[in-house]
Amino acid sequence: MTVAERTVRPVLPVDLRLTLFPVRRGRLDPSVRFEPTGVWRATRTPAGPATTHIRVSAAAGTATMRAWGPGAEWALDAFPALIGAGDDEAGFEAGAGLVGELHHRFGGLRIGRTGAVMEALVPSILEQKVVGLEARRSYARLVRGLGGPAPGPERPAERGGWPAGLFVPPEPKVLAETPTWVFHRANVERKRADTIRRTCAYAHRLEETVAMAPDDARRRLTALPGIGPWTAAEVAMVSLGDADAVSLGDYHLPNQVAWALAGEPRGDDARMLELLEPWRGHRGRVLRLLGAGAGAAPRYGPRMPLRTIAAQ
């Protein structure tokens, strides 16, 4: 299997780890690997599965992707958008406060666009109403159990540095036909399992949102039962590159925003939107900056417990 390669020169600096942070669903994600040499990612494209390796040369001001598999050419075409090479900060005034400080410190944080709606939607559904670690464990089990090995060079001499255990996420058709008991073994109860199967049955219609305006894309996503504003915003940020996406209904986010921007230990969605209003059009960008360096709000109660239903 031959390797294809493309090098681009982004207008703005790109920090790969910061930019691709939302693409990787925690350190357990078997489809994305952050390494000192760059970022490995296995993905399903309209042309088939692909494995990509991305590295950035700060000295040269370039970013390079190498790709393997049937979807390699598609991945190379989508490469600039993935690393936020087209990210437009027009109209964004960070200001002199905390947001300005974070924007200066994390100047390489770009809003990327994967163009892969279902790959963002499935793990976002898993994260509904549960502890993050629990959702990440479930996603890793589903990818390893229902996905497939990432495509790559066949000859051992060409696999130097190739990461072990890299998997392509499952096809939507496979997830749509997966029985409930398989999800149960991955610690996913029937409600979220049914939502995943239902959305995967309409995968072709949901993937069309990459060509829609943000408001139209959200309307189509939320038209399906089980997909609310929070899930739609999570998908819009990662898949559609929506720099204004705000995840309403999040358990921690309003508190983090209220604490970071107003010194208030607790907040709700209304207060969060009020505080983010000066950055309308770039509210998702501000949330990414706060997540990168503002820290969490004070905790006053016990943390949500991890649930284990697989053995029940």
Contacts of 167 (CB under 8 A, 6+ apart): 30, 31, 42, 143, 144, 147, 148, 149, 150
Backbone torsions φ then ψ of 268, nearest 5 degrees: -125, -175
| Contact predicate 39/45, CB 8 Å | no
Q: 1.10.3210, 2.40.10, 1.10.8, 3.30.310: which CATH number matches 4-86?
A: 3.30.310
Supply the pLDDT for residue 300.
Answer: 80
pLDDT, position 201: 98
* Whole-number pLDDT of residue 308: 77
Using DSSP, state whether 280 is helix, strand or coil: coil
302 pLDDT above the threshold of 70: no
Residue 156: the pLDDT is: 53
Can you give the pLDDT at residue 61? 93
Sign (positive or negative) of CA dihedral 109, 24, 200, 1: positive
The pLDDT assigned to 2 comes to 77
CB 247 within 8 A of CB 234: yes
pLDDT tens digits, one per residue of 208-262: 999 999 899 999 999 999 999 999 999 999 999 999 999 999 989 999 999 999 9
pTM for the whole structure: 0.93
User: Percentage of residues in the chain with pLDDT exceeding 70?
Assistant: 95
Structural domain boundaries of the chain? 4-86, 89-113+242-295, 117-148+168-239
pLDDT at 309: 75
Helix, strand, or coil here: 220? helix
Sign of CA dihedral 184, 189, 190, 191: negative
pLDDT at 283: 98
Share the mean pLDDT of the chain: 93
Instruction: Give which of 182, 196, 50, 59 is closest to 122, Cα–Cα.
Output: 196
Indicate the fold that domain 117-148+168-239 takes in CATH. Answer: Endonuclease III; domain 1 (1.10.340)
150 pLDDT band, cuts 50/70/90, is: very high
Instruction: Assess whether the region 4-86 and the region 117-148+168-239 belong to the same CATH fold.
Output: no
